[in-house]
Structure 1
């Protein structure tokens, strides 16, 4: 008799895979995040968790930079710099998000 197990991935492991592969493949500008998103999407086990796992690193980095810029510089300048960096990070996360959606769709 054959056992069927539903091995659903986790958002945490998918996020770690995406971060790790993004760091390792930084030298492939559009393709590095795309590959990282694909692998992370497969690890997440579905499209929904893959999208969440792709957004978490961008949000964490943006919030951390926003807080550091606000504390280190003048609060208004720090807020403007933090908001600007947030939008740059979101734009740079597009290939990661596309890869996560494709990887999550193929994991189903």
Structure 2
């Protein structure tokens, strides 16, 4: 097996996590946990699985910070909006992160 095939794909792992989370939204804790396991296994390792679970929330927080600052003209409002969304999404993705760590261990 080549090194590229064993390493996995970070982008594909994020897509799988998002897709499975959307499909299993009706299972409050089990749905994100299953999505995290699949995404962590697709990512190919514990660190990459954790990164695949955290990166979308960090990007969303950064984009909201930029757009909040640009639309209001006040950097403090953009910082509060971006930081708030980042923390909110991070806390809500707890089972996803745990599943990504388990999936990374299985890879």
Same fold (TM over 0.5): yes
| TM-score normalised over the length of structure 2 | 0.82
TM-score of the two chains, using structure 1 as the length reference: 0.82
Question: What residue number does 1:27 align with?
Answer: 26
SS of aligned partner of 1:28: coil
Q: What RMSD over aligned residues (CA atoms) do the two structures have, in Å?
A: 1.7
For residues 74-89 of structure 1, the aligned pairs below 5 Å read 74-75=73-74, 76-89=76-89
CA distance in 2, matches of 1:69, 1:32: 31
Greater shift after overlay, 96-105 or 75-84? 75-84
User: Structure 2 CA distance, aligned partners of 1:71 and 1:87?
Assistant: 21
| Counterpart in the other structure of 2:72 | 73
Structure 2: stretches of 5+ with no match in the other structure: none
CA distance, structure 2, for counterparts of residue 25 and residue 66 of structure 1: 29
Name which one, 1 or 2, has greater alpha-carbon Rg. 1
Q: Are the equivalent residues in 2 in contact too, given 1:38–1:99 (CA < 8 A)?
A: yes
Structure 1 stretches of 4+ moved >3 Å = none
Aligned length: 103
> Could you tell me whether the CA contact under 8 Å between 2:60 and 2:85 is conserved in 1?
no
How far apart are 1:38 and its partner, in Å?
Answer: 0.6
Q: Does 1:101 align with 2:101?
A: yes
1:97 Cα offset (Å): 0.7
Counterpart of 1:42 in structure 2 is: 41
Shift of residue 74 of structure 1?
Answer: 4.8
Runs of 5+ unmatched residues, structure 1: none
CA distance in 2: counterparts of 1:99 and 1:39, whole angstroms: 8
